[in-house]
Chains A and B, each alone.
Chain A
Amino acid sequence: MHPSGHIALWCALLLLLASVWTVPRPAHAQVSLQAGPRLMALGGGGTAVAGDLWGGSNPAAWAGLASRQLGFFAGQAFELSELRLGAVRVAQPLPWLTAVVGAQTFGFEQFREHQFPVGVAREVTLGTTRTLAVGAEARYTHVSIPGYGNDGAVGLTLGAQVQVLRTVRAGVQAVHLNAPTLGGGDELPRLLQVGLAYQPQEAFLLVLDAVKDVLFPVSYRGGVEVQPVESLTLRGGIATQPTRFTAGLGIHVGRLTADVAAERHDVLGWSPAVGLLLR
């Protein structure tokens, strides 16, 4: 490995361990991998985007899924094999709601984090002609660090989305609302996210989010998605705290969609990711 690669690896590992063990912050919280391949390319926002299997962790997004979906996702933070993430998720619309289950693994032999999300979402009207998408997710997170031990916790995430105008959708989610903690009383990341999605045409989408981790400064995230031809979608985005640029594309062939995304951090470099979605 090139010397600069070693420095980057150790910087990343120090960042990872410091953030995880002093106050647990899985490294992927610093990049947009958690958002899934589509929303990662949109700057990591997308709280208001409907019908996304990964949903940017907003469970309300599942309410817009019209059919069963199976998704695979793989990413690598800062081009480091030690910071790889792999995930699988399946969504099944039922008569009353949409149910989602998944599994995710992140890290390497010296730090391994597994997550198992289970969630439901549905649309309600509550006394009007407009619909409100609501969703809830319970996510079991298990962290294992050889020599230190392992522990797990269940976190609850609630989300909502609503079409406030014909072209504007708003979303909100509270991640780990129940303040789950790992060993030593350290909390898993608690987030409050609000976002807007502006879609004047089917082929154009603009998203803007504010994401506040209880322990970090607010991060503003924005992205644009255009679909020049039916089989191709292009995406780009930007995020603050830390400053990152993202880009990606999606290719649609029949019931299959392949997404590629990458995020650029000024100091730590690229974080590539790919996803496969089967409807």
Chain B
Amino acid sequence: MDYASLIRCTVGLAVSLAIALGVGTSAEAGAAPTDTLLTVTRAEVRAFLFDERDEEALPEDLFEQLETWLDDPLDLNRASAHALAVLPWLRPAQAEAIVRARTTDGPFDSVAAAFDAADIPPQDRAYLRAFLHVRPPSTTGTPAPWRVMLMQQATRRLDLGRGYDRTREGTTYLGSPVRMMTRLQVGQRGRWQGRLTLNKHAGEPFAWDPALRFFGYTHMAGHVAWQPRHGRTTIIAGDYQVALGQGLLLWRGLALGKGTAAVDGPARSSRGLAPYQGTDPNGHFRGLAGTMTVGPATLTAFASHTRRDAALDTLTIANGEASVVLSSLPTTGRYRTPLERERRASTTLQTAGGAVEMGRPGRHVGLAGYVARFGHPVAASDALHQRGAFSGQQAHGLSLYGHYSLGDIAAGAEVMRPHAGTMGGAVWLRTAVGRLAEVLWHGRVLPVGNSLFGNPIAEQSSRARGERGFYLGLHLRPHPTWTLAGYADVFTMTWPRFRTDRPSTGLDVRARLTHQPRSWLRVYVQGRSRQREQNGAALHHDTRPLRPISRHEIRLHAQYAHSPVLRFATQVDQVWTTRDGTSGRGFLLSQDVRWHIHAALRLDARLAFFDADPFDARVYAYEHDLRYSFSVPAFSGQGQRRYLMATWAPTAALDFQMKLAETHMPMETTMGSGLDEVEGNRLRDVRLQLRWRPFR
């Protein structure tokens, strides 16, 4: 007899009986007797935006911004058109319509009234509600409320990899397996804010060593920003991001890109400056930045001095002198091993730039540029796919962009000239047929020599260089309960890529059909097909012909809100892959439950079984996580994933979250790889977070 399983069974049965007999009865007694709407939760907003972001760099910037909006929804009676227009699902023309209606008809008394004024479709309203609220008009003249928040997070893997084995010879991690993150925030809503984030990843040392720039935590980011929401004026001291035009030249921060928002993601419009307080040490500027409006012109200027992680090499040049150059710029942001620590903040990057925009949100043209200088020259790489990339010590870029919307038609464009001298550009046109359909055309020509700070729409935004592409997006609402959204992206890589030694072509197609027959039931089926080319097996004379690689996915997702206190979500994912003649299959079946046991206590649980082989056929599955954290793990092999997360908010000012998760692969003897390789077939981790908001 296995007593551990017997104990688990007994506990489980006791809990089940309690559910069946006691709690169910009490919930019945105290709950509303009628059906309720399947409103979009914060978790669903996150899932919608982060879903399918595999192979991309982790969108921490996007997540940071999203959490900020969710925590501090915009007040429709005070926010400027520019502030509203940067929200996902809200276009510049709609933002202008909201502000215009507010000016002519007075403050809104509900979010729905503002939506009506801007004629926002019902499907978009469901998601937008999470970002917006309406403060009573009577409070318009009162002092701006204070916001203070302190948050502490600690996470730890229970099954440790060999990197934590101090008795082992060779490289090990320098620090403990605990990840620590502290966030501080203070400010007055709609006026100014000060934020600070302190972070230490698992394996990094928590040490005080000013010589190595270790001050306890390994990463610090923060700012003081004055950012009234009535206009565009912004002044930031500290860490910030800049996003202008279509992102060809300067775009750090929120970037939806290709995804489930098929006609909104690629239709970009300048966001301008945004304060930054995230955990990515390489994704932001640090210094002073400001935006101000002078008549019809909006001026933005910024100056930054940051330290960057770098691998330095010493070269001996012709006259015998030694020269230190940058051989690579790691972007992992991890400092767990001696080598990673050595590369930490080992060079500098000074940047200055600015932009002039004429017009208003939805109708403007702009000119932007920057000059950047590294502390050491960047060495040219011999790798074929790296040729044409930036080398040298100083870079610059210039771009001209514009955005125009009139009624149901909107367009945007940007032309950019980076340091290497080759021009690049992107243009999009979006048109609507009432509420029935929206169509987006997007074209791009990206130069081989890309901008240091660009992040344009591309096959993969993080590797956007030497590429031509055409994107067609469609959003169709044939019936109030049916929605079809999808896109087709055809692209040509005009320059070799990693593992692709010659120009190549590819295709990315995605469609999602959503049906909501009742207010409590939503179902969607989604298909995605991606094809591109990569080096095949070597033939004679070491020639490597390109071979197509493909990945086809289909997903069925059903969500059912039984009541305000109980929700279920079921998802089935099936993946088929082909690479160099070898095919693979992946499958995942997951069942989620969200249960508000009490007004102050919520449980989120998932049980998922997966089966994917080979690794190419891995299945990605977004899962709930602590606030300010997100998780889209990839599953390959054969096994089970389960987690339980509890959110307890004893008071309005205090909440506590705990997540216990386990991945179990019965047929494996080791899990993970490298220094994170674990003996055994289970990976378990625990995550804790405490948040205190005395002033919200």
Contact = CB atoms under 8 A, between A and B. Distances in A.
State the majority secondary structure of interface residues on A: strand
> Which size class do A's interface residues fall under?
35 or more
Contacts of B520: 130, 164
10 contacts: A136-B17, A162-B568, A164-B521, A165-B518, A170-B560, A180-B2, A181-B2, A194-B570, A212-B589, A215-B666
Interface in B285-333: none
Interface stretch (B27-35, B62-70, B72-80, B683-691): B27-35
Nearest to B31: A127
Contacts of A258: none
A125 B28 contact: yes
A127 B565 contact: yes
B20 interface: yes
Nearest to A160: B568
A127 B566 contact: yes
Contacts of A126: 24, 27-28, 31, 562-563, 565-566
Contacts of A182: 2
Nearest to B518: A165
A135 B9 CA distance: 14
A53 interface: no
Given A138-B13, A177-B12, A182-B2, A128 B35 contact: yes
A12 interface: no
A97 B20 contact: yes
Contacts of B20: 96-97, 120-122, 124, 134-136
Contacts of A165: 517-518, 521
Contacts of A127: 27-28, 30-32, 563-566
| The 7 A-B residue pairs with the shortest CB-CB distance in the complex, in nearest-first order | A127-B31, A136-B16, A124-B24, A178-B8, A128-B563, A127-B563, A180-B5
Nearest to A185: B2
Interface in B1-15: 1-2, 5-6, 8-10, 12-13
A153 interface: yes
A97 B683 CA distance: 38
B640 interface: yes
Nearest to A97: B20
Nearest to A218: B587
Interface in A119-159: 120-122, 124-130, 132, 134-136, 138, 151-156, 158
Contacts of B25: 124
A215 B608 CA distance: 13
Contacts of B667: 215
Contacts of B563: 125-128, 130
Contacts of A120: 16-17, 20
A162 B562 contact: yes
B558 interface: yes
B639 interface: yes
Given A120-B16, A165-B518, 15 more contacts: A130-B563, A134-B24, A153-B5, A154-B6, A154-B10, A156-B8, A156-B12, A172-B591, A177-B8, A178-B9, A187-B666, A192-B609, A210-B572, A213-B609, A215-B638
Nearest to B34: A129
Nearest to B22: A96
Interface string A8-19: 000000000000
Nearest to A212: B609
A116 to B, nearest CB: 13
Contacts of A214: 609, 638-640, 664, 666
Contacts of A162: 560, 562, 568
Contacts of B433: none
Contacts of A23: 666
Contacts of A216: 611
A164 B519 CA distance: 11
Interface in A64-100: 96-97
A170 B611 contact: no
A217 interface: yes
Contacts of A185: 2
Contacts of B8: 156, 177-179
A132 B9 contact: no
A138 B28 contact: no
A194 B564 CA distance: 23
B646 to A, nearest CB: 18
A174 interface: yes
Contact of A138 (B9, B518, B570): B9
Contacts of B36: 128
Contact of B591 (A164, A174, A179): A174
A210 B589 contact: yes
Contacts of A114: none
A264 interface: no
B152 to A, nearest CB: 33
A158 B572 contact: no
A34 to B, nearest CB: 18
A190 interface: yes
Contacts of A121: 20
Interface string B571-608: 01000000000000001010100000000000000011
Contacts of B568: 160, 162, 172
Nearest to A134: B20
A164 B1 CA distance: 40
A174 B558 contact: no
Nearest to B639: A214
Contacts of B572: 194, 210
B2 A153 contact: yes
A241 B27 CA distance: 41
Nearest to A124: B24
A218 B9 contact: no
Contacts of A218: 587, 589, 611
A128 B31 contact: yes
Interface in A10-61: 23
B539 interface: no
Contacts of A125: 24, 27-28, 31, 563
Contacts of A181: 2, 5
Contacts of B609: 190, 192, 212-214
A11 to B, nearest CB: 24
A132 B566 contact: yes
A9 B520 CA distance: 51
B21 interface: yes
B19 interface: yes
A136 B570 CA distance: 20
A172 B570 contact: yes
A192 to B, nearest CB: 5
A20 to B, nearest CB: 15
A158 B28 CA distance: 21
B566 to A, nearest CB: 5
A134 B589 contact: no
B28 A124 contact: yes
